[in-house]
Structure 1
Amino acid sequence: MKSYLTVEDILQRRHFERIEIAAGKEGLKRLVKWVHIVEVTKIGNLLRGNELILSTAVAWRERKELFISILQQLIKSNAAGLCIEIGTYTKAIPHEIIAMANKAEFPIILIMKEVPFVEITQDIHTLLINRQYDMLASLEEHSKILNKKLLSINHYDEILRVIYDDLQAQIVLLFKNYETRFFPDIGDLKKSILMKAIETERCEELSKYSILSTPIELLGESYAEILIVSESRALTEYDQLILDRTANALAQFFVRELFVEEKRRVEETEWVNAWLDGRETKASILENLSYYMPRVSPQGAVVCIYQQEERSQNINLTYFKLYFRSILEQKGFSFLAIEKYHSVILIIINERRESDWKKRMTEAIQRLLESDLEIGKLNSKPQIGVGKYVSQLERISESLETAVETVRINKQLATSNSYFYDDLHIFRVISILNRQLDLQEIVMEYLEPVVTYDQEHNGKLLDTLKTYLACSGSKKETAKILFIVRQTLYHRLEKLEQLLGPDFMEHEKRLALEFMVKAHEYLVASKQEIIGVGKI
């Protein structure tokens, strides 16, 4: 169905049997949305675009400057054309008017016999209204066809064919991973020209193209964009409505495909477990990757653990993986995943350079947690741990061990904001010592006098010691950070010397104290609060 009317279409109607096209023949393809009768000279604010104007020119007869003003207003308002009845009030069209209309490709049609304008408007308006009804019926039929296709198709090209058959315009599908699909397929030169037209739509030399677009969203994220491009005609609201329905159909198809793909990945679980356990060789890893993920070019890998608390609101982990995958792919990662209890263990494969993998991973995690979808509505913040990055894929078990350690440490350090094992630094050593030794006893060996003093006198000596060590012994900087005067600081430092000894800032003892202060933070954060001498 042709969903639009042009000036050329209207000139085929019975009331336009005797006409002459005085100017603007190149503009006969202009769209017509309505017909107006105009006999006034100020009309710019009355028009909304694509109106065909009927006039006897009585308001500007024999006044060329008024005729020029009227024409300028019509062109500026994007009117479809001007039809003038010749004979009663107007005998001829000035050459200046014809030249101006030709330059703007604005049709001026001369009606050579008297025709009641009311009959023209009634005929054209009836035609336009009938076209609107036909358009609605066509949209309904288009939606039915798309719904039937979705039940049986194996490739999205069959959806693109439906819209192409309906609109006869070039279809362009732009995926967020920079893949582009043209339907129907065209030569490389034509593709290059069209892409330039899309990217620089406002360029004057490319204004001959009419372009409409709409996003394809999956799970709240932009997955692709579909565009229609026409060189032969202006695209209309009908084209946009068809495009929107096609985008919805494509979104349903892609979601279905992603769910099917996610279920297929369950088959990978046994192999992924073997890889995580360190039972796979480099050759077998690459062989399996080429089978399960043929397009992936691994530059290294890292294990990420996403863990929910048992008492928290559960989310659909398949949904989570689909959503996180869409984010990671845009950041240059692919992943394999297995589920265990309330956790997802992901082997995240880096496909870009190694130097900025951590920055890209951080952005992906932040985007995941800031989402307003189900993932962002959990009752409690999930635990996320990213292990060591490994360039050698067969060493992925090391990344798994460190990811587990990261989650464990972060659970104990409630104030920790790092998801990466590499950022835990001294806490990694403290965690190991805490598991193998009586860390509380070691800490109290060094800090017992200070802790006991603060408990008995409600003091701030431990905070002062921590800040003084962090400032490398700078009294000025320490006082500034603690918001105290120098005299108060001197008094506290004298007390620290009495409790810890005058040598507490000497190199080796200072290093030990810095370590013990961090260990004390770890114990307190993990709810092993120190109360009294040598007690937890």
Structure 2
Amino acid sequence: MLPTVTEVLRLPALRAAAPEVLAGDPDSAIVRWVHSSEVYEMGGLLAGGELLLTTGLGLHGRTAQQVAGYVEQLADAGCSALALEVGRSFAVVPHELVQTARRRGMVLLALHEVVPFVRMVEDFHDLLLRRKLSWRRAGEPIWQELLGLVVSGQGLAAVLHATARMADCPVELVDVDGRVVERSHTPGLLDSTARTVAEVRGPHGPVGRLVLHGRPTAGRTGVAGRAAVAVALELGRHPDLGSRPSLAQAVVTDMVAGVLVSQGDLQARMSAAGWAPAPGAAVLVLAVEVDRRTPASEAVPAVREAAESVLGRCLVGAAGSAVVVLARGWPRSAQRRQRDAAEDLLRQLRAGALGAAVRTIGVADPVGELAAVPGAVARAREVVTLSRRIGSREPVVLAQDVAVHRLLAGGLDASEIAAFVTGQLGPLVDHDAAHGTDLLRTLDAHVATGLSKTRTADVLGIRRQTLYARLERIEHLLGAPVDDPGQRTCLGLALSAWRMRTGLDPQTVPAATRGGVAGPVPVLAGGAGG
């Protein structure tokens, strides 16, 4: 069992650094390793689960946008926590660092005292070593019995039977596709809700999961962890039981890596995996994002079962923190059906074992050629990433929902976009910050409702007379009527760009906070916060 950030903060070297939690939940964030680096591009070098220590040297002289981008990269890589030593590169923690970490749910720590990072790494290493030794001593009898079964060659069934007896519940071994490889002979109900699961890993990665059909307890979790190692050893004696990823997983992995792109190769590999659309049929690609505390590989069986109940036969595999689903879909013109299907899938997943671990479902535009499928996979994952960056509250997001944001996130010059947003929205942001008004929120709602005054008043929960007064003030500050077609287009683009840059939703951010967090100078022009 790996420690949480809270447990790591109790280590002597971390305590001596006078840590302060500025963002995130240290009680739930799990730390796999502690690492120190001043490299700005560190996100691409992480494997996930790190507590990263830095003096901020790599951030010194960076723009506000680059500082926020640094945290985005770390969060995308699965970094658990970032600890910044203040007093060297920065007198205080940059405002953009705090806001982005809060939005991405990543723990951010300020270290107020100077302590050599090497001592922190050594303390963490000692913590892991003590836990490992304690784990071995506590489970020695269990481990000896299971290892004895493997060494004596009594087979997988005997290992599962012994595991079931120790855990007092039925046990199954399932492969990476969720298919049952072997079951224990212990009678009992196979409960799909009260389960204790341990990943079984081979030399090339996960080969399956050991499922104990019983409520997780400390004893049952300990048995599952030791039994998973024993099962891995037993599987190593019999490679035919599956020490490689499934054919479907291999297809997804190769598409994401960009090594599977030709029409012929895709047709052959998908057919071998048991899935291939008819020539000319539309392919619908979805990316189901799960919480980073739930490995995407473990979510594949549940996602496949739910997806096939909604969309028919699917090809499913894990990619990063998401599960990619390929299904036979509908043409691009059938967006309502696509959204309905994705929402149905979301309901089934959240009602099942994954529950709240399912965060967002991104849906790419359907494609009609197999050669276009790898691009659709990349777009579905991009839709999920963009929905996080704009602070979207919608759990189902189609590519069309973030089409403008994809354009703005492309090769457009950041300074030109910032100047455009400042010119369009700056007066409203300034007025809201100075007077505590809700003009930006009002404009956002009015544009979103197609300039319908009745619907805008309903969305905001205000009287129409109040709305008229606000719109009059907005038009006075902007110097143009909002219902002018050209002005409406510019304002819609500017609001989308504002969301992209700040990750905030005008409908949920208080006006007083909005000015301090995203005023035209600190965020839109790239200056310092405050």
Same fold flag (TM > 0.5): no
Higher Rg of the two aligned structures: 1
TM-score interval, normalised by the smaller of the two chains? 0.3 to 0.5
- TM-score, normalised via structure 1 length: 0.44
- TM-score, normalised via structure 2 length: 0.44
Structure with bigger RCO (C-alpha 8 Å, 6+ apart): 2
